[in-house]
Amino acid sequence: MRRVGVAPCPAQQGESWMWTIVCDFDGTIVPFDVTDRVLDQFADPAWQFVEEAWKHGRISALRCMRLQVAMIRATSADLDAFLDTIDIDPQFPAFVDDCRRAGMPIAVVSDGLDYVIQRILARHGIDGLVVIANQLVPGGDGTYTMAVPYAVAATCKARSGVCKCNQAARLAAGRHRTLLIGDGRSDFCLGEAADLVFARGALLAKAREQGWPAVDVPDFTAARLAFAKLTGRLAEVA
């Protein structure tokens, strides 16, 4: 996806831009990595050695996730009970409403697991939100595998199960500017390509290092204010 710069605030120039909002899940909607918590709870401790292999570049993010998911042993009831203990940023539902009122599409695009994300969002009353993630496939005996319908192995620089750049380009379809909201390594490739980044954590540090157009957004209270400024709708969050 070609980067075309940052739109001035419509409140300043009297013109409204359409944005497609691509939002990460782990470390963003939830303040920690949910997949890691699931692995801590239900997987063979060897998952951490797999994680280290990925961090040091010895295996791809896709292979890392596949190996780790295969280490999980949990009944569906136990997995659900655990997921139901996880809270999201309390302002995220309001942020989704802000996007919808502005007529701007928002999707969760994550290199995590679809069922995990959908279960957590549904418990917090968030329905109808597009979720693009790796598919968690139960084996029926407490085992799991991972399907990757969104992988683009030949071109994905992140070597992830979900190519965020590919999905962002598809969602925006050349008509909208892309706003990325994220926090970590899985967001770096799209961070370089997006028109604007609402960033925290490692993504914010990377954006500052590389000079990407970014706003420091530590939570969705800040994200709501930044989005309102961007779209000229400050009165709605005042």
- List, for residues 113-136, the tens digit of each pLDDT value: 999 999 999 999 999 999 999 999
SS3 call for 19: strand
Q: What is the mean pLDDT of residues 163-189?
A: 86
pLDDT for res 44: 97
Q: Is residue 221, in this structure, part of any structural domain at all?
A: yes
pLDDT for res 162: 87
Per-residue pLDDT tens digits for 85-111: 999 999 999 999 999 999 999 999 999
Tell me how far apart the alpha carbons of residues 115 and 38 are, in angstroms, rounded to a whole number: 12
If one compares 6 and 23, the residue with the highest pLDDT of the two is 23
pLDDT for res 155: 66
pLDDT for res 14: 35
pLDDT for res 152: 76
Whether the Cβ atoms of residue 35 and residue 112 lie closer than 8 Å to each other: yes
Is the pLDDT at 17 greater than 60? The verdict is: yes
CATH number of the structural domain spanning residue 179: 3.40.50.1000
Q: Tell me the longest C-alpha to C-alpha distance in the chain.
A: 59
Tell me how far apart the alpha carbons of residues 101 and 107 are, in angstroms, rounded to a whole number: 15
pLDDT for res 197: 96
Query: Angle CA(149)–CA(154)–CA(158) in degrees, nearest 5?
Result: 80
User: Per residue, what are the HEC states of 65-81?
Assistant: HHHHHCCECCCHHHHHH
Q: What is the mean pLDDT of residues 81-88?
A: 98
Tell me how far apart the alpha carbons of residues 107 and 178 are, in angstroms, rounded to a whole number: 11
Is the pLDDT at 235 greater than 90? The verdict is: no
Q: Is residue 52, in this structure, part of any structural domain at all?
A: no
Q: Which domain holds residue 226?
A: 10-32+89-236
Tell me how far apart the alpha carbons of residues 154 and 141 are, in angstroms, rounded to a whole number: 34
Q: Is residue 59, in this structure, part of any structural domain at all?
A: no
Q: Is residue 43, in this structure, part of any structural domain at all?
A: no
- Give the DSSP letter of residue 27: T
188 band by pLDDT with thresholds 50, 70 and 90: confident
Tell me how far apart the alpha carbons of residues 143 and 76 are, in angstroms, rounded to a whole number: 10
Provide the pairing of β-strand 144-147 with 130-138: antiparallel
pLDDT for res 27: 95
Beta bridge partners of 135: 147
Q: What is the mean pLDDT of residues 131-160?
A: 86
The number of folded domains in the chain is 1
Per the prediction, the chain carries an average pLDDT of 88
Residues 6+ apart with CB under 8 A from 143: 70, 72, 73
pLDDT for res 10: 37
Whether the Cβ atoms of residue 120 and residue 127 lie closer than 8 Å to each other: no
Q: Is residue 46, in this structure, part of any structural domain at all?
A: no
Going 115 to 121 to 124 to 126, the CA torsion angle's sign is negative
Whether the Cβ atoms of residue 188 and residue 32 lie closer than 8 Å to each other: no
65 band by pLDDT with thresholds 50, 70 and 90: very high
164 band by pLDDT with thresholds 50, 70 and 90: confident
Q: Is residue 188, in this structure, part of any structural domain at all?
A: yes
Q: Is residue 83, in this structure, part of any structural domain at all?
A: no
Tell me how far apart the alpha carbons of residues 88 and 124 are, in angstroms, rounded to a whole number: 8
30 band by pLDDT with thresholds 50, 70 and 90: very high
Q: Is residue 176, in this structure, part of any structural domain at all?
A: yes
